[in-house]
Amino acid sequence: SKLFSANQNHQKIFSPPPPPQQQQQDSNPHAAFDTLDLDGHFSFQNTAHASRDFGNRFFFRPAAVLHPKSVSDIASTVKHVYEMGPLSGLTVAARGHGHSLQGQSQADGGIVVNMESLTRRPSQGHLRGGGGGRYVDVSGGELWIDVLKETLKQGLAPKSWTDYLHLTVGGTLSNGGISGQAFRHGPQINNVQQLEVVTGKGEVVTCSEKQNAELFFSVLGGLGQFGIITRARISLEAAPDMVRWIRVLYSDFSKFSTDQEHLISLDESFDYIEGFVIINRTGLLNNWRSSFHPKDPVQASQFVSDGKTLYCLEVAKYYKITALHLLQQIQGLLSKLHFITSTLFVSEVSYLGFLDRVHVAEMKLREQGLWEVPHPWLCLFIPGSKMDQFASQVFGSIVTDSSNGPILIYALNQSKWNNNIKRTSLVTPREDVIYHVSFLASAVPSSTGKDGLDYILARNQRILDFSLGAGIGLKQYLPHYTTQEDWKGHFGSKWEVFLKRKLTYDPLAVLAPGHRIFKRQY
């Protein structure tokens, strides 16, 4: 089928969209949707917002933006597009908060569904107390920060997070959703009990591990290819009040990674484990993760790195204000680690403040005009057995003078995850211990130097080329490829299943065209 022939015609547009008043109107996109009876509405003119994303590098203009007020708005629109067949060629992209990096939530000449219009805030989330089955039902267009604020009112919270909470539930569940809790709880897709999904045929289906399980697992980590998530049932736990947030430094990568792997293997460990690389001291003080304000015993500003590359282990212990023995417990855990002893930085923050930490830095960057710049990010999963080799080449030779933004490194223990994660569409290396490594660079617009887009993209490519040549066996997280061969390589042994699922749930390849995996069928 043509669906599976390589989609070589993916068009890249590297310039920003014209302002709305200069945009040309399609001949008559209105007419095609006149018959639909909607609670919400279509917008045919103000589409510029839907043709950009956080990456600021890809700009595809849709024909229309749907602002749904009900699930049936989405279902009837997708069904209509599906049934229009050969005449339309239209595609539909769900847009969460538009924090994709390469146009994944855009639809070139198609329809973008503004999922944030669908939020059913906050009273319509159903909290159920008691037992292990506590959950909240939320709209796919809800921001995680709002889910947190709402559940905290009941003393509850989701278990697994992303570092940044101004992302939608549907957007992160389409990828995975990982942060420093994933070593224990698995990614966010491992903490979902049920979904309501609009498939590529416009059918509304409720699915879970027990009901329509194939669709449930397809959609989780499925890059929006199989359906639009309109509702998700998220597992909850009792929320702590406070967080003891700790950073320690290493100059030796193998000590750093040994300690991380030790901590993620323990049954009683920290509640959050991450880490990052400090190159030329960028990353410690002057970046968007700088919401950390150490209070004791050593001030971060007094530590002199001598330009060495350092590795920062970042851990946190959550607690109720009434918790006893917390300090002894933390002391016990720290005493087994091998960091530079004078580098113990401690901060005490509220749980909400801790989880929303990146937003603080976002506000600062926005003030300086440094948020809406190109973001050539590269996010990877590295097999644990290859991590030393990867680090030695990448931090020894490729990323040496500056990082242009944070570089996260943390270990995850897949053997502790729910076995069902293997049935989802998420792709990770097949080893129990894997590392998440993210190069979160910001480029200075129109710079041709080392802080410019071209330089950073070339550096990312060097990392990928080295890894391929050295047989590292990495997998991209938030994957981006330009040929179907590369997509096949990404999915590896999961490709056949991915293809079969696509044929079942979105046979005309209507959904999520921005990934350019499949070509719309007529």
Q: Could you list the active site residues?
A: 99, 163, 274
Token pair belonging to 76: 């009837």
C-beta of 407: minimal distance to ligand FAD in Å? 13
Q: Provide the angle, in degrees to the nearest 10, between the axes of the packed helices 484-491 and 495-505.
A: 110
Q: Does 163 bind ligand FAD (CB under 6 A)?
A: yes
Token pair belonging to 384: 């644990």
Per the DSSP assignment, residues forming a β-bridge with 229 are 197
Which of 52, 57, 99, 488 is close enough to bind ligand FAD by CB under 6 A?
99
Q: Which stretch binds ligand FAD (CB under 6 A): 32-40, 169-177, 341-349, 396-404?
A: 169-177
C-beta of 128: minimal distance to ligand FAD in Å? 23
Which of 48, 90, 228, 349 is close enough to bind ligand FAD by CB under 6 A?
228
The single-letter DSSP state of residue 397 is I
The single-letter DSSP state of residue 5 is S
Site string for ligand FAD, 121-140 (x = CB under 6 A): -------------------x
C-beta of 168: minimal distance to ligand FAD in Å? 3
Which of 164, 253, 318, 390 is close enough to bind ligand FAD by CB under 6 A?
164
Q: Does 105 bind ligand FAD (CB under 6 A)?
A: yes
Determine which helix (DSSP H) or strand (DSSP E) holds 81, and give its type and residue range.
helix 71-84
Q: Does 171 bind ligand FAD (CB under 6 A)?
A: yes
For 296, phi then psi, to 5°, come to -165, 165
C-beta of 453: minimal distance to ligand FAD in Å? 16
Q: Does 96 bind ligand FAD (CB under 6 A)?
A: yes
**Matching residue, tokens 């991209």:** 476
Nearer to ligand FAD, 104 or 467 (CB): 104
227-240 burial code (b ≥16 CB/10 A, e <16)? bbbbbbbbbbeebb
In whole angstroms, give the CA distance from residue 437 to residue 410: 7
Which residues have a Cβ under 8 Å from the Cβ of 481 and sit 6 or more positions away? 487, 490, 516, 517
Determine which helix (DSSP H) or strand (DSSP E) holds 380, and give its type and residue range.
strand 378-383
Site string for ligand FAD, 444-473 (x = CB under 6 A): ------------------------------
Nearer to ligand FAD, 200 or 383 (CB): 200
Answer yes or no: are the C-beta atoms of 233 and 207 closer than 8 Å. Answer: no
C-beta of 236: minimal distance to ligand FAD in Å? 19
Q: How many amino acids of this chain bind ligand FAD (CB under 6 A)?
A: 35
Q: Which stretch binds ligand FAD (CB under 6 A): 36-44, 170-178, 246-254, 296-304?
A: 170-178
Q: Does 176 bind ligand FAD (CB under 6 A)?
A: yes
Q: Does 178 bind ligand FAD (CB under 6 A)?
A: yes
Mind giving me the DSSP string for 210-271? SSSHHHHHHHTTSTTSSEEEEEEEEEEEEPPSEEEEEEEEES-HHHHHHHHHHHHH-SS--S
Tell me the CA distances in angstroms from 275 to 171, 280, 286, 314, 315, one per residue in order: 24, 16, 16, 5, 8
Which of 376, 512, 516, 519 is close enough to bind ligand FAD by CB under 6 A?
512
Point out which residues bind ligand FAD (CB under 6 A). Answer: 53-54, 93-100, 104-105, 115, 140, 162-164, 167-168, 170-172, 174-179, 223-224, 228-229, 478, 512, 514
